Amino acid sequence: MNLETPYAPCVGSGMCCKKAPCPYGEADETGGCRFLEVWENDDLDAERYRCGRYDAIVGQPTADVVPAFGAGCCMTLFNERRQEILVELRRRQP
């Protein structure tokens, strides 16, 4: 029996942070993280998100586990934004 959790590559959908903040974040009025921000320099037609505290968090001893930057998404089901971004990324490929 395989107990490893499969992860899909992170594409910046923001779903995890929209659901709840990580230990370094703070909840907003919706329950998501107030530090989640739109990825302004992105050239996709689908809106993507980034962590507004990335630079402060990435050097912390536990940052490779929580929030696990770059480790990938474990919330692929019912994530319409993710699917939209994946379609745009595929269009970008030659």
Distance CA 48, CA 59 (A): 23
Cis ω for the linkage preceding 67 (within 30 of 0)? yes
Enter the pTM of the model. 0.72
Over residues 11-49, the pLDDT tens digits come to 888 888 888 998 899 999 999 999 999 988 777 888 889
Domain boundaries defined on the chain: 15-92
